[in-house]
Amino acid sequence: MAGKTLPAMAKKTASATSRAQAKKQPRAARRAKPVEPPVPRIESLQVKNYRALHDFRLDNLSPLTVLLGPNGSGKSTVFDVFAFLSECFSSSFGIREALRSRNGLEDLRTRGAKDPLVFEIKYRESVDSPLLTYSLTIDLDKPRGKPIVIKELLRDEAAPFPLLHFGRGKGLIGIEDEPGVYPLPPQETLDSPDLLAVSALGQLARHPHVAALRRFITGWHLSYLTADNTRGTPDAGPQEHLSQTGDNLPNVIQYLREQHPERLDAILDTLRRRVPRLQTVTADPTPDGRLLLQIKDAPFDRPVLARFASDGTLKLLAYLTVLHDPHPPQLIGIEEPENQLHPRLLPELAEECRAAAERTQLMVTSHSPFFVNELRPEEVWVLYRDERGYTQACNIAGMERAMAMYKEGGKLGSLWMEGFFDVGDPLQHEGGPAPARTKRGPRG
């Protein structure tokens, strides 16, 4: 009998045993776990001639990156770089619309500079994938005075030739499964020199790396939410992701309740632990087809409308909704999440951010030592203006005094407030490093 198939009776017995074992497992365990898409990670960012970012770099970025610094040090400008690139890729008008909304290229160019705007991002499509570099150079076409793409380059750092190389509306795109080989005719032409090749050609399935980059950048989410925006009554209908301003929060609550109730339960459980006496949050349709966001707290029987709820409760709900998104954007930026939140809530919000960074890349700006206390040195960058007025960045892991105290058990936020950071104190040296002491020789 060796090598023969199992008899029918044995097959039935084995099947029955398998079914019995499956029934003993919880229903959730029997469900096929969805395969999470790979999370792209930006490892470095370089920007030239973009407002105060004259020659600015962030290297060895971690999944959670937090930017500190005095007011006016350039934190919001770094965020605007991501917003600018995302708008360039999302618009059918190429770079024109993103520049127009910022009053034109000359208003963006670093004061006193004449060189073009340059952006370079080094990233990986997944943890184990090769390092890719995307660079974009934008300037004015001098004869016409109109903005154009001077150079656009996508390359695999391990390959001899770029995957894409364009400029002034013309260029080459490689055959991705044959590195360094270009199709015939070798040159492609775009409709206009201000269009992005990645945006146009990234819609074609035969260019997977270009398409992945386009999806990555257009999917960035930069949060500019306010509590007032979450108090509206939008038209009813589920929406998958929270908007930048948070004005569709009731729609996202409706979507989570219908499609991901377990995720909404997790959000509300976390919110209940942070907000005393809060019981539940609902988004209910009205007879005229709108959604009312309502919050119920103990010991009262009737909920209150969102427009009467506290700013902190609404903002915390909105942040948790972003961080617990079932299919999060591949990069999320949050500016100063501590605003309107109790300081005791900030350490746990930092932990929520780190947990979310396992499924996305997070960039946060902050002025709160309570938030920073829960961070690691490699996650924190301090921005400051140098003597020329340009923004520079310094990672905490490179500050000897701060690291010595951190290894002794000091919390980063406390060390920040006690002056152990080399830069970033608005009351000392204008936020910059202390002047170097010079040795004077003997008088002659």
The amino acid occupying position 279 is Q
CA-nearest of 324, 349, 332, 330 to 260 is 324
Q: 301 exposed, middle or buried (CB, 10 Å; 0-12, 13-18, 19+)?
A: exposed
State the pLDDT at residue 181.
55
State the pLDDT at residue 161.
81
Q: 386 exposed, middle or buried (CB, 10 Å; 0-12, 13-18, 19+)?
A: middle
Structure-model confidence comparison of residues 435 and 203, the more confident one = 203
Pairing of strands 361-365, 64-68: parallel
- Residue 173 binned pLDDT confidence (cut-offs 50, 70, 90): confident
Helix (H, G, I), strand (E, B) or coil at 167: strand
Structure-model confidence comparison of residues 173 and 411, the more confident one = 411
> Mind listing the pLDDT tens digit for each residue in 37-85?
788 999 999 999 999 999 999 999 999 999 999 999 999 999 999 999 9
Res 178 pLDDT > 80: no
Res 443 pLDDT > 60: no
State the pLDDT at residue 154.
96
For 8-36, give the DSSP string: HHHHHHHHHHHHHHHHHS-HHHHSPPPPP
Res 116 pLDDT > 90: yes
Pairing of strands 117-124, 41-50: antiparallel
CATH architecture for the domain at 37-220+329-432: 3-Layer(aba) Sandwich (3.40)
The segment(s) of the chain belonging to CATH 3.40.50.300 are: 37-220+329-432
* Cα gap 317→322, rounded to integer Å: 9
- Whether 246 and 357 have beta carbons less than 8 Å apart is answered as no
> What pTM, to 2 d.p., does this model score?
0.86
End-to-end CA distance of the chain: 107
- Residue 7 binned pLDDT confidence (cut-offs 50, 70, 90): very low
Taking residues 239-255, report their average pLDDT: 96
Averaged pLDDT score across all residues of the chain: 88
